[in-house]
Amino acid sequence: MCAIIDNKKGDIKMTYTDEDIFKSLYILNKSAKKSRDTQKKAGKENNQRVAKAAKTRKDFIYNLKHLAMEKLISEKKLEFVGIHKQEVNSSSFYLAFYKSSLGFSYHRPATKAEIKDYKEKECIRMTVVPAFQRHSFDFGYKKAVEILLDYLNVTQKDIKEKNKKQFSEQTP
């Protein structure tokens, strides 16, 4: 991360490295999975207030993740690796699998075209991805959100107003 000062206005504009952006996606992805697990547990315990709050937070994170991934893909900073098939209970979810040049990897719901291009035998079967973090970084959730919002040049309000159905990740 580095700061650039606009000499005309005196504004400070942060610029972030690709690594900062990839770390931010990782942090948010794990946080979304914690919210997913919280939502599921609260639903089982009939705690609708907590379940709703966890769902709202999870949806916000996945919307932000989706937009960041789409931009990274368009900038050719994420490479499509293949399709993973996640089977949970009696449902199947097809997830497009992407990797960065720095070794970070992410999933997003696969498009119909991606699923069609990959035959069933080429799909890698996977279980639900756990929420625990394998890596720790020098910043946390709030900074990760700030980095991705800045990278996308949007506000939290912009993300919340996006069509949730369009961006909401299909997680069991």
Q: What pLDDT, in 10s, does the model give residues 49-58? A: 999 999 999 9
HSE, side-chain direction, 13 A CA sphere, residue 40: 9
Residue 4's pLDDT band, with cuts at 50, 70 and 90, is very low
What distance in Å separates the CA atoms of residue 125 and residue 86, rounded to the nearest whole number?
6
**Which range has highest mean pLDDT (4-8, 41-45, 168-172)?**
41-45
What distance in Å separates the CA atoms of residue 130 and residue 166, rounded to the nearest whole number?
24
What distance in Å separates the CA atoms of residue 43 and residue 125, rounded to the nearest whole number?
27
Q: Is the pLDDT of residue 9 over 80?
A: no
**Which range has highest mean pLDDT (56-65, 84-93, 124-133)?**
56-65
The residue among 13 and 76 whose pLDDT is bigger is: 76
- How do residues 24-59 score in pLDDT, each as one tens digit? 999 999 899 899 999 999 999 999 999 999 999 999
CA distances from 14 to 2, 20, 47, 138 (A): 6, 12, 40, 16
Taking phi first (over 0 means left), then psi (-120 to 50 degrees means alpha), and beta for anything else, what does residue 61 get? Answer: alpha
Average of pLDDT values for 69-94? 87
Q: Is the pLDDT of residue 141 over 70?
A: yes
Structure tokens at 144: 């990760």
Regarding beta strands 78-88 and 124-126, do their DSSP bridges make them parallel or antiparallel, or are they unpaired? Answer: parallel
